[in-house]
Amino acid sequence: MKIDVFERGFSPTPIQELTGVCPKNRVFLKREDFLPFSFGGNKVRKARHFYREIQTQSADVVMTYGSSSSNHCRIIANMAAAMGLPCHIISPEENYKDTPNSRMVQRFGAVVEKVPLSGISQAIEARRAAYQKSGKNPYFIQGGGHGDPGTAAYVECYEEIRRWEQEREISFDYIFHVSGTGTTQAGLVCGLLACGRQAHTRIVGLSNARTLERGRPVVVQSALSWLEHVYALQTGRRILEDTVEQAVCFEDAWRLGGYGCYNSAVLGTVDEMMKRYGIPMDTTYVGKGFWAMTEYVKREGLTGKKILFLHTGGTPLFFEERPGEERAE
Ligand SMILES: *Cc1c(COP(=O)(O)O)cnc(C)c1O
């Protein structure tokens, strides 16, 4: 079955100005949390590209990997249900939590197969082979919507940003966003390079989990993969690896000990953004990243800049219980 909002009227998402966030600079927010499917967020933008591949390949089972509490698994389970397809999630048993996302995943009827972290790749291969043996045509989506289709989604997002800039004769000096699996960043960077805008705008990925050593090479590799497999084929043009390396700015100074860790400044940001602007942000991704952006602006002493922050969604996480989470001060 088709999903109407994936076919038309999906985006652009709105961009709004926020006064009083980083004094002496102008700050804008692009609301990816408003994408019109399953509470929005960057995983929906990616899912729409996987949706197209599922249709092209006439797949009849959707498989993915991830925690059932993740935004990714909620959205893939929702998409599969909307398409009338079964959804099979391989999930690390160590990370299981009862959350708004995991409850939605259940309600969408996805099968969640809990596997110890050490046995994930074997479990995925075994399950895929079993489906194929029974005459099915499974489509597997990497955790977090990683891979060329996910990257392509954020190339499109960059193009939306560029059109908005052109219509208003404005040019962002910085684009900030939270970098997790690195796909969002890879896509934005590819979009920037494809438009030749790297001298004008700096894209800064604020890591919420991975260290620089682990996270940055993944962003670079994802960008190179899309540039080779998609961009070069479509345009006949090449972008040098060096150029990509220079355009990937990955900051791990505010990861606070890693995934799920936050401090009182992050909590303060989350409360302030909701109270003052009515904008929900969560402590795992967007609230933490938004706080990190304000710290970056202070550290670099930025003034007179036009800054865009990408609100990548995660709205259901806003309603998670806080005390159960790991904390770091
Ligand atoms: C997954 C996620 C991110 C990180 O995106 P990546 O493409 O994995 O780097 C940021 N914000 C939210 C709300 C997410 O769910």
- 3-class state of residue 111 by DSSP: strand
Average pLDDT over residues 33-49: 98
Regarding the beta carbon of 286 and ligand 1, being less than 6 Å apart is answered yes
Per DSSP, helices labelled H in the chain are 4-7, 42-56, 71-83, 100-107, 120-133, 148-168, 183-194, 212-226, 232-235, 241-247, 264-277, 286-299
Q: How far is the CA of 6 from the centre of ligand 1 (A)?
A: 20
Summarize the confidence of residues 163-189 as an average pLDDT: 98
Res 321: pLDDT = 83
- Examine the pLDDT at 241 and tell me if it is beyond 90: yes
Convert the pLDDT of each residue in 181-205 to its tens digit. 999 999 999 999 999 999 999 999 9
Q: Can you tell me the distance from the alpha carbon of 3 to that of 226, in angstroms, rounded to the nearest whole number?
A: 26
Which of 42, 142, 146, 155 should be mutated for ligand 1, with most atoms under 8 A from CB? 42
Ligand 1 geometric centre to CA of 145 (Å): 9
* Average confidence (pLDDT) over 29-36: 98
Residue having the nearest C-alpha atom to atom 3 of ligand 1: 180
Residue range(s) of every CATH 3.40.50.1100 domain in the chain:
15-39+146-319, 43-145
| Contact status, residue 42 vs residue 184, Cβ threshold 8 Å | yes
Pairing state between β 61-65 and 87-92: parallel
| 89-105 pLDDT per residue, tens | 999 998 888 999 999 99
Q: How far is the CA of 178 from the centre of ligand 1 (A)?
A: 6
| Among 34, 184, 270, residue to substitute to test ligand 1 (most atoms within 8 Å of Cβ) | 184
The answer, yes or no, to whether residue 329 has pLDDT greater than 70, is no
| Tokens representing residue 317 in the block | 């996480």
- The two beta strands, 306-311 and 174-179, are parallel
The whole-number pLDDT of residue 73 equals 98
Count helices and strands in the chain by DSSP H and E runs: 12, 10
pTM across the whole model: 0.97
Angle at 152 (CA atoms; ends 147, 156), nearest 5 degrees: 155
Q: Which fold has domain 43-145?
A: Rossmann fold (3.40.50)
66 lines ligand 1 (CB under 6 A): no
- The pLDDT score that the predictor gives to residue 323 is 64
Fold of 15-39+146-319: Rossmann fold (3.40.50)
Residues 154, 184 contacting (CB under 8 angstroms): yes
